[in-house]
A = this chain, B = another copy of it.
Amino acid sequence: MDSPVQKTYSGVVALTTKGRATRQRIIEGAAAYLRADEPAGVTLDDIRAITGTSKSQIFHYFPDGKEELFLAVARHEADRVLDDQQPHLGALTSWPAWERWRDSVVARYRAQGRHCPLGALMAQVGSTPGAREVTSALLNQWQAHIRKGICDMQAAGLIRAGLDADRVAAAFIAGIQGGVLVLMSTGSVTHLEAAVDTLVDHLRG
């Protein structure tokens, strides 16, 4: 906890500039690789080759090996998820804004196609506590944004006040996640669109 030595996120004690660069290169190279290719059974040696590093470097920067590295990549990808929905997600204050947000979500996942980098990572890392923490944090933030959007609309009198903002926000999260899941297995975004559109219709009342 309060050890005398400053510990970074990664558990490595003190990285030089070069070291930090290498670490970042590994994360981003791995992320790009997992984003592009079939992620099932990606090996450390693949990542080593892609990022032009050696085995010892990987274990130097991620002492706990594969799991630690993949978690770092998962965090990296989780950040992208919300970023890609901005600025729309942060300002759901009018119906056109909701439409723009809807379009950005659909577009993002349509472009992504069957590959859900985050889902793939999660499947690999499985259900370790760390993995759950990453997903939970992401979903919580996401849902909070949506809930705030609903509340703002209610405050502006554009959505009926009786509606349970948190509940509907949770339904949005479920619908989007499920839509993406279906997309991964069918390659079609129709379910994602149906879920989001139906829920927006519901907001409109």
Interface residues of A (CB under 8 A from B): 38, 40, 114, 122-123, 126-127, 131-132, 135-136, 139, 167-168, 170-171, 173-182, 184-186, 190-192, 194-195, 197-199, 201-202
One complex includes copies of this chain to the number of 2
Task: Tell whether, in the assembled complex, residue B195 and residue A170 are in contact, meaning their CB atoms are under 8 Å apart.
Answer: yes
The distance in angstroms between the C-alpha atoms of A186 and B184, with both chains bound, is 21
Which of B122, B127, B202 makes the CB contact (< 8 A) with A198?
B202
**A175 — which chain B residues lie within 8 A by C-beta?**
171, 174-175, 178, 195
Secondary structure class of chain A's binding surface, majority of residues: helix
The distance in angstroms between the C-alpha atoms of A198 and B201, with both chains bound, is 11
Which of B38, B135, B167, B190 makes the CB contact (< 8 A) with A197?
B167
**A167 — which chain B residues lie within 8 A by C-beta?**
194, 197-198
**A168 — which chain B residues lie within 8 A by C-beta?**
194, 198
Given A175-B178, A176-B178, A178-B175, the answer on whether A127 and B195 have CB atoms closer than 8 Å is no
